[in-house]
Amino acid sequence: MALRDIKPTRSELIGLKRRIQLSERGYKILKMKRDGLILEFFKVLAQAKDSRGALLAAHAKAEEMMAVANTVEGAIGVKSAAFSVKEVPQIGVRQKNIMGVVVPEIQGSSVTKPLVDRGYGVLGTSSTIDETAAAFEDLVEQIIHSAEIETTMKRLLEEIEKTKRRVNALEFKVIPEQVEARDFIKMRLDEMEREELFRLKKIKARSQA
């Protein structure tokens, strides 16, 4: 199609200018959201580093106590104490919102128990069993905490990537294409006005001849 055949209207130009304004406003909002999410991500990342350290320490402590318990009580005594536990930990998951991103809030119940609620006979076991049970309770709590933080980090990272793609699409594709179309329509409207003015002058010159 020849350039002369394209005849845009003023209303098209006005509509396009409005769309550019909306795109630019959306771009600014998304940039603010992206930057805010990145800040939140680094906060959670710092927590994750501490959580991983605590988890590794709790795991090492639990393994150490299990080895000691097996030595003191024997494998059968340890298994007997373990099988006597009546109330197992329960995991509940709720949701919370971080800048529009839904992340889990994981809670455990019956994880840490008083000595008398662990199920095994207090008189028939040594304090090693108590210390081992406490070490594994602490390990379970650290696992729950780490799971919440790791999942939160993953959700935030996914949202950051999605928001970055939208920001880049607006910045490097949508808005430039809209601006290019606006400039073209404006240029074509100016040409059409000049052509119309030239046509009117020719008509006037003929009528005066």
CATH number at residue 133: 1.10.287.3240
24 has pLDDT over 90: yes
Q: Which residues fall within 8 angstroms of residue 75, CB to CB, at 6 or more apart?
A: none
Mean pLDDT over residues 5-12, rounded? 84
Please state the φ and ψ torsions of residue 65, each to the nearest 5 degrees. Answer: -70, -35
Range of the domain at 57: 22-163
The verdict on residue 196 lying in a domain is no
19 has pLDDT over 60: yes
- Residues listed for the chain: 209
Distance (Å, whole) CA 174 – CA 186: 18
User: What digits encode the pLDDT tens for the residues 158-183?
Assistant: 999 999 999 999 999 999 999 999 99
Q: What is the pLDDT of residue 4?
A: 59
The verdict on residue 178 lying in a domain is no
Q: How many CA atoms lie within 13 A of 51 on its CB side?
A: 20
The verdict on residue 130 lying in a domain is yes
Q: What is the pLDDT of residue 165?
A: 97
The verdict on residue 79 lying in a domain is yes
Distance (Å, whole) CA 157 – CA 34: 10
The verdict on residue 1 lying in a domain is no
User: What digits encode the pLDDT tens for the residues 47-100?
Assistant: 999 999 999 999 999 999 999 989 988 888 788 777 777 667 778 888 889 888
200 has pLDDT over 90: no
The verdict on residue 13 lying in a domain is no
Contact 27, 178 (CB under 8 A): no
Split into its structural domains, the chain has a count of 1
Pairing mode, strands 90-98 and 101-109: antiparallel
22 has pLDDT over 80: yes
More confident residue, 207 or 42: 42
Extract the tokens encoding 159: 């949202």
2 has pLDDT over 60: no
The verdict on residue 171 lying in a domain is no
The verdict on residue 209 lying in a domain is no
Contact 160, 34 (CB under 8 A): yes
User: What digits encode the pLDDT tens for the residues 93-149?
Assistant: 888 898 889 998 888 765 766 666 666 655 556 788 888 888 988 998 899 999 999
Q: What is the pLDDT of residue 38?
A: 96
Placement of tokens 């097996």 in the chain: 70
